[in-house]
Structure 1
Amino acid sequence: MYRVNRILRGAFFGVVVGDALGGPVESMTAEEIKGKYGVFKEITGGGRQGLEPGEWTDDTRMTLDVARGILANPAYPLEEIGHNFLRWYQSGPRDIGTTTRESIGNYMKTGNWREASRKTAQTLNKMDSNGGLMRTLPVSLGYWQDMQKIAKWAAEICLMTHYSYDSATCCIFYNLLVRLAGNGGDKRQMVSRALELTDGYCSEMSILPSKFFWHIIRSVQKGARPVAPRGNSLDTLAASVQAFLNNQNFEDTLVDVVSRGEDTDTAGCITGGLAGTYYGFEAIPQRWLKAIRDSEDIEDICRLFEAYWRHKGLSA
Structure 2
Amino acid sequence: MLNKIKGALFGVAIGDALGGTTEFLTKEEIERRHGVLRDVSGGGCWGLEKGETTDDTAMTMAVAKGILQNPEEPIEAIGKEFLTWYDSRPKDIGIIISTVLGTFNGNWFETAKHAHFEYLNGMSAGNGSLMRCLPAALAYPSIEKVEEVTKQLSKMTHYDSLAEEACVIYNRIAFQVLHGQDLKEAIVAEIENTPYAAALLKEKPACTPDGFVVHTMMWVLYWLLNSETFSDVVIGAANEGYDTDTVAAIAGGLAGLQCGYEKLPLHFIDAILVKEELVELAKQLGHLQQNGNIV
TM-score, length-scaled by structure 1: 0.88
**Preserved contact between residue 233 and residue 248 of structure 2 (Cα < 8 Å):** no
**1:44 alignment partner, one of 41, 62, 73:** 41
Matches within 5 A, 1:144-223: 145-195=141-191, 214-215=194-195, 217-223=196-202
**Correspondence for 1:121:** 116
**Correspondence for 1:206:** none
Matches within 5 A, 1:295-310: 295-310=275-290
Between stretches 302-311 and 38-47, larger displacement belongs to 302-311
State the Cα distance separating 1:170 from its structure 2 match. Answer: 0.5
**Correspondence for 2:230:** 250
**1:292 alignment partner, one of 264, 272, 279:** 272
Structure 2 spans left out of the alignment, 5+ residues: none
**Correspondence for 1:69:** 66
**Correspondence for 2:12:** 15
State the Cα distance separating 1:184 from its structure 2 match. Answer: 4.6
Matches within 5 A, 1:82-97: 82-97=79-94
Aligned mates of 1:172, 1:80 — CA distance in 2:
21
Aligned mates of 1:93, 1:37 — CA distance in 2:
26
**Preserved contact between residue 228 and residue 260 of structure 1 (Cα < 8 Å):** no
Q: Relative to 1, partners in 2 of residues 1:295 and 1:75: Cα closer, same or farther, differing over 3 Å? A: same
Q: State the number of aligned residues.
A: 290
**Correspondence for 2:28:** 31
Q: Relative to 1, partners in 2 of residues 1:266 and 1:163: Cα closer, same or farther, differing over 3 Å? A: same
State the Cα distance separating 1:282 from its structure 2 match. Answer: 2.0
**Preserved contact between residue 234 and residue 248 of structure 2 (Cα < 8 Å):** yes
Aligned mates of 1:185, 1:99 — CA distance in 2:
34
Aligned mates of 1:152, 1:194 — CA distance in 2:
17
Structure 1 spans left out of the alignment, 5+ residues: 200-213
**Preserved contact between residue 130 and residue 232 of structure 1 (Cα < 8 Å):** yes
1:132-159 residue CA offsets vs partner (Å, 9 max, x unmatched): 111111010112x211221121111111
Aligned mates of 1:52, 1:137 — CA distance in 2:
25
Q: Does 1:57 align with 2:54?
A: yes
**Counterpart residue identity of residue 287, structure 1:** H
Aligned mates of 2:180, 2:291 — CA distance in 1:
24
**2:219 alignment partner, one of 239, 244, 250:** 239
1:187-225 residue CA offsets vs partner (Å, 9 max, x unmatched): 4431232237xx7xxxxxxxxxxxxxx44x111111222
State the Cα distance separating 1:283 from its structure 2 match. Answer: 2.2
**Preserved contact between residue 25 and residue 261 of structure 1 (Cα < 8 Å):** yes
**Correspondence for 1:225:** 204
**Preserved contact between residue 45 and residue 53 of structure 1 (Cα < 8 Å):** yes
Aligned mates of 1:195, 1:8 — CA distance in 2:
23
Q: Pairwise CA RMSD of aligned residues? A: 1.6
**Counterpart residue identity of residue 118, structure 1:** K
